[in-house]
Amino acid sequence: MAAPDFEQSLVAAIPHLRAFARSFANDPARADDLVQETLVKAWNSRDSFTPGTNFRAWLFTILRNVYFSQHRKLKREVDDPDEQYQNSLAVQPEQYGYLDLADFRTALAKLPPDQREALVLVGAEGFSYEEAAEICGCAVGTIKSRVNRARNRLVELLDDPDLKGGASESAAEAGQRGRLVKDAARG
């Protein structure tokens, strides 16, 4: 890809890379660091991109590699990401319709990472199962089953009154499934 085209495509992909990074690193600043490193790597290895293939999938693969190479190094010294994420959520209690977006994100953060990744790639970014499998370096069937398990687990989590640890009684009574059904009905 010619340099100007490459740059243009890279710029256009940044918002999506930031969203994908957010599903790995729950702290937005850390997620952006991940994106920056991805951009450097993508820029320096742009000759390895095959024109005509999915550019965004190529970038997502790089971001993923960057994340996992860092993660191996850190040897899990860092954190319980779920806990971190929930702490960061606690300060943004905005309401979004019947099912609070913050509640949804809390549940999403509780999914096993491989399930969350598959769900986000397919359900949010709109990759095909095949593309998601290529990005994750696994079989198409594996992606399908991860997406299914992620969906089922999300419903369970949202149904759990203890989702946020100290959920208020009224929230517990209302029940997330009830809210989901209302959301669904609004359609």
Partner 1 sequence: MNIEPTGSVDAAIQGALGRKLRESWEEVVKEEVPKKFTVLLEQLKQAETSSSGFARSDNDGGERQD
Q: Catalog residues that contact partner 1 under the rule CB under 8 A.
A: 3, 7, 10-11, 14-16, 18-19, 22, 32, 35-36, 39-41, 43-45, 48, 62, 65-66, 68-70, 73, 96, 99, 101, 104-105, 108, 119-120, 123-125, 151, 154-155, 158, 177, 180-181, 183-185, 187
**By C-beta, is 45 or 95 nearer to partner 1?**
45
**Residue 71 is which amino acid?**
H
> How many CB atoms are located within 10 Å of the residue 84 CB?
16
Q: How far is the CB of 57 from partner 1 (least distance, A)?
A: 16
C-alpha to C-alpha distance for 121 and 147, rounded to whole angstroms:
9
> How many CB atoms are located within 10 Å of the residue 138 CB?
14
113: nearest Cα among 89, 87, 136? 136
Q: How far is the CB of 79 from partner 1 (least distance, A)?
A: 17
**By C-beta, is 44 or 50 nearer to partner 1?**
44
**By C-beta, is 83 or 182 nearer to partner 1?**
182
Q: Specify the 3-state DSSP secondary structure of 71.
A: helix
**By C-beta, is 105 or 146 nearer to partner 1?**
105
Beta-carbon contacts of 138 under 8 Å, excluding residues fewer than 6 positions away, are none
